[in-house]
Structure 1
Amino acid sequence: MKLHFLGTGSGMPSKQRNVSGLALSLPKQTWLIDCGEATQHQILHTPLKPRKVSAVWVTHLHGDHVFGLPGFLSTRSALDGTEPLTLYGPKGIKKWLDVTLKMTGSYLGYTLTIIEYEDGDEFLQDGHRVIVKKLEHRFPSYGFRIEAPIRPGTLLVDKVRALGIPNGPIYGQIKQVETFEFEGKTYNAKEYVTEPVRGAVVAVLGDTVPCTNAELLARDADVLVHEATFMDAESKLARQYGHSTTIEAAALAEAARVGQLIVTHISARYQGRESEFAAEVETAFPNSQVAVDFYEFTVGD
């Protein structure tokens, strides 16, 4: 997986940061997670292709997370995107989008399936498991836990060769069967293959204050993408608007034992104070990164 940060600001766009937009590149498809105003403009500065986007996941319906969606969907059609697309979002997204597309005369040359999820829902999309949980914000907001498929173990080639089996198709078959035969003998395939490898896990949270569901989504994740709209000195303001601080994001990463924390949704009030902002979160949780627009991060090998 690779994360592409298309917009890392909060509330409204600034010269340094666009509003929320995140792309997740999978082996054969791309997902968008939130699609704030001008997300499609941001995509123009990346190698991402709109027609390759197979799913869009919306954390909540605040404008800075969805106002770019009608334009993106229309552009995907104009760029000859014909493959079906699935849009996942909270209750109300279908009504809003249906009205918007109808009133603007927008035509989509592909099948758009809209699924309105609920707290606790689980989905299988492009071979990846996605768990949805409700967060705590002043507006219904959700987070996602994305789990890549389990990868089969590696063939213990030396051990197989020790049986006298020459290189050939059987080497690939051993990883896919329970038993295999050679020269009249039957062998347990599991003894010749390493244990399966857990797929990469990414947790992406919408706007939220610290809460139990946020930690559940993030538990043992390889990467946690967490909003940090404010620094610790503005914690009262953060609570007033239903957002998290750098220190709160770091505390969650520590409690959930995540491998890497990436904070985003940064208030424009910190322009010119980027070093101070980064130092605060990195001191609290060393494996941290403050995302900027067009920052990329590869998850796993």
Structure 2
Amino acid sequence: MLKITFLGTAGSLPTPYRNPSSILIKKDSELVMFDCGEGTQQQMMRARTGMMSLSSIFITHFHADHVLGIPGLLQTMSFQGRTEPLYIYGPEWVDEFIRILATLGYCRLGFDIETVQLEPGDIVEKNGYSVKSLKTEHGVDSIGYAFVENKRPGKFNRQKAVSFGVPPGPLFSRLQQGNPIEVDGRTVLPEEVMGDPRPGRTIVYSGDTRPCDDVLNASKGADVLIHDGSLDNKQYDWAIESMHSTASEAANLAKKSGVIKLVLTHISSRYTEDVSPLLNNAQKIFNNVIIADDLMEINVPYKNKVK
């Protein structure tokens, strides 16, 4: 399973319908969070995602709408009896940010917090996936992220295995797990019966940014690009001044990268009643685009299952 839950999709200010930024990825039984705006823990409750299997929080930058949910989330998990360590990654000042919370008494918890400062290009290796930090362009030090699953084994050629004298059963499994086997005095190698490795899935999250090369390059062939789409074309000058992106700019980047799906988020409060200007701008350039809503979920299929 690879599922994205949009816990917060608002721009700089929350609205009655949108919480500040937070995105949750569920890979199998593990939860990985990107940004944690205020109210994130309540959104997790509403979405019924659970909290205790949250392994990491990746912060894009330290504007308030991206981090103010962290203290409450930490305390809630502690009250619920969490003992497993939590990893918090982010750009410069991530160590200082958590140290300040501890000084204020917010982090007297029943579990450890491990902070890791990232520079653009750093790769965090996890179990079955990695997260790469991307250089982005915002008004403060900021990074985006590419969540990249490890490659999957190639398809097992059952007919070929049988032709080598391999009986169906446990020996099939050993070959599929990458182990050579012996059959009638002959060694059968996994590569003789397995196809080429197949790519895992990739999700790119831009955070707040102007369109930039690192996000473009990370999105090439990706499954989902979650991009800052704060403003419509009429607000182009303000997008430049505030270091955000228009929906059209995000769509242009998606088109250039060849990403499968574009999701616009960080929606300005200007569009509280009507997001159609954003969607219309983007769809003129890139067809497979949607605007994220709070608590929206997306299941990400493997590419070979995409019609």
Band of TM-score, shorter chain: over 0.9
Q: Which runs of 5+ in 1 are unaligned?
A: none
Residue in structure 2 matched with residue 21 of structure 1 by the alignment: 22
Q: Using structure 2 for the length normalisation, give the TM-score.
A: 0.94
One-letter amino acid of the counterpart of residue 82, structure 2: G
Q: What is the TM-score normalised by the length of structure 1?
A: 0.96
1:47 is displaced (CA, Å) by: 2.1
Q: What pairs with 1:70-109 in structure 2 (closer than 5 Å)?
A: 70-104=71-105, 106-109=107-110
Question: What is the correspondence of 1:153-232 to structure 2 with a 5 Å cutoff?
Answer: 153-177=154-178, 179-232=180-233
What secondary structure is seen at the aligned counterpart in 2 of 1:276?
helix
Q: For 1:118-137, what aligned pairs fall within 5 Å after superposition?
A: 118-137=119-138
Aligned partner of 1:5 in structure 2 is 6
Counterpart residue number, 1:34? 35
Do residues 252 (structure 1) and 253 (structure 2) align?
A: yes
Percent of pairs identical after alignment?
32
Counterpart check, 1:64 vs 2:65: yes
2:295 matched to which residue of 1?
294
Tell me, which stretches of 5 or more residues in structure 2 are unaligned? 303-307
Deviation at 1:176, TM superposition (A): 3.0
Contact 2:174–2:180 at 8 Å: present in 1 too?
A: no
Q: How does 1:234-273 map to 2 (within 5 A)?
A: 234-273=235-274
Q: Deviations over 1:160-201 (max 9, x none)?
A: 223343222100111234643211223333121122111101
Q: Aligned partners of 1:189, 1:119: CA distance in 2, in Å?
A: 37
Q: Which letter does structure 1 place at the counterpart of 2:159?
A: D
Is contact 1:29-1:126 (8 Å) kept? Answer: no
Question: Is the contact made by 2:74 and 2:107 (CA closer than 8 Å) also made in structure 1?
Answer: no
Superposition deviation, residue 242 in structure 1: 0.4
CA contact (8 A) 1:70 1:101 kept: no
Instruction: Find the counterpart in structure 2 of residue 112 from structure 1.
Output: 113
Contact conserved, 1:70 with 1:97, CA < 8 A, in 2?
Answer: no
248-257 or 127-136: which moved more?
127-136
**Deviation larger for 270-279 or 116-125:** 270-279
The answer as to 2:271 corresponding to 1:276 is no
The answer to which of 187-196 and 11-20 deviates more is: 187-196
Distance of aligned partners of 1:72 and 1:173 in 2 relative to their CA distance in 1, 3 Å threshold:
same
Distance 1:94 1:110 in 2: 17
Return the letter of the residue paired with 1:31: V
Gap change, CA 1:119 and 1:73, over 3 Å in 2 = same
Distance, in Å, in 2 between the alignment partners of 1:116 and 1:225 is 23
- Deviation per CA, 1:236-274, whole angstroms, max 9, x where unpaired? 011010000000000000111111111100001012222
Q: Secondary structure at the match of 1:150?
A: coil
Conservation of the 8 A alpha-carbon contact between 1:149 and 1:198 = yes
Distance 1:142 1:160 in 2: 47
Deviation at 1:66, TM superposition (A): 0.4
Q: Which amino acid aligns with 1:139?
A: V
Supply the distance in 1 between the matched residues of 2:74 and 2:51 (Cα, whole angstroms): 8
Which secondary structure state, in structure 2, belongs to the residue aligned with residue 166 of structure 1? coil
Once the two structures are superposed, residues 97-138 of structure 1 have per-residue CA deviations (whole angstroms, 9 ceiling, x without a partner) of 222232135421112100011122111123311111221111
CA distance in 1, matches of 2:67, 2:295: 19
Q: Distance in 1 between matches of 2:277 and 2:213?
A: 29
CA-atom RMSD in angstroms:
1.5
**Which one-letter code corresponds to 2:34 in the other structure?**
I
**Hey, what does 2:305 align to over in structure 1?**
none
Greater Cα shift, 232-241 or 187-196: 187-196
How many equivalent residue pairs? 301
